[in-house]
Amino acid sequence: MKHLFRKTTAFIAGAVMAGSLMLPAMAQAETIKIALAETPSDELAAFFVALDRAKAEGLDYEWTAFSDEELAIQAVLSGQMDIGFGTPYAAMQRSKAPIRIIFQLSKLKFFPVTTKKYETLEDLDGEPILLHSRGGGTDSIANVIEERIGMKFGARSYVPGSSNRVAALLGGQADATIIDLSNTNKLMRSPEADRFNVLEMFEVEASDEALFANLDWIKNNEEDVEIFVNALLSVYRDMHEDPTIIRRETNPDGPIGQLPKEILDELDGFYGDAVKAGLYSKDGGGKVAANADLEWYSAAGQLEGAPSELNIEDFWYLAPLDKAMQ
């Protein structure tokens, strides 16, 4: 692999932003195409640090940010992209393509946040709620809340990005939503905090974002996948030892380094809070995450069959992570 990485813009169906390599035609086939489910943000800073570490080991790649997770999943299923970013459990079960997860990127650490109209999850029975995307992590959380609490949300509306849903709350366009740890903390530390409640939520260990690819592609690109998984694992382990490593290793000329200064200044706080809250597994999830996912996404209605009847190997390919853990 060549040690080249030059940014440019690329567009494919449904994409809203892309970073890519400008490589000679003969080398283009060696470039890993990564489908992100959102545009670069503070939540993706650790991922981009891992990409930089992988690049230093010879990995050539390009990334494309899609407007939502479903488009990113479809891009991998269609073969437009090699590796996806999301939790495609329903797609894995219904598709004939052998899609497998190889690394848990983050857990479903999300929080129901409402105006003062509501004080408990039960109060949301029949009430409208704002979520990230149809079939995504917040949608599954809403499904499990309904099952466990014995209630039913009203109309579900979808606005990608926790920060955008916070803006809807602040602007009076919504009274209830589910948002990530970072935006929950920002909102409840802001001067507007007394307008909102964070409702008590049960613990969740299932995956919010995971890295997945076609199993045939994984096996045909074993060396590149190994470099990628090793880089991710090294970043997550270092981050648990010292969350400031993400800010310190963020490339100022990369997509995260180009974010507004106020976001970059909060990276230490974001990753410190995230590690403390258990948002990231320092061992890539593995069998623990796989089992939690099968239980969660079955309860969420995105997998058919009881978790005890489902086979981890139909959804995860653990060999790269097991090798990296040795």
Res 13: pLDDT? 37
pLDDT band at 161 (very low <50, low <70, confident <90, very high): confident
pLDDT band at 14 (very low <50, low <70, confident <90, very high): very low
Res 133: pLDDT? 86
Is the backbone of residue 224 left (phi > 0), alpha (psi -120 to 50) or beta? alpha
Q: Are 108 and 132 in contact (CB under 8 A)?
A: no
Res 255: pLDDT? 97
Res 16: pLDDT? 43
pTM: 0.81
Q: Are 120 and 92 in contact (CB under 8 A)?
A: no
pLDDT band at 24 (very low <50, low <70, confident <90, very high): very low
Percent of the chain scoring above 90 in pLDDT: 75
Q: Mean pLDDT score of the chain, rounded to an integer?
A: 89
Burial of 183 (0-12, 13-18, 19+ CB in 10 A): buried
Taking only the tens place, the pLDDT of each residue in 98-125 is: 999 999 999 988 999 999 999 999 999 9
**Separation in Å, CA 180 to CA 107, 112, 257:** 10, 9, 21
Taking only the tens place, the pLDDT of each residue in 292-303 is: 999 999 988 889
Res 4: pLDDT? 29
Other residues' Cβ atoms within 10 Å of the Cβ of residue 293:
29
Taking only the tens place, the pLDDT of each residue in 225-269 is: 999 999 999 999 999 999 999 999 999 999 999 999 999 999 999
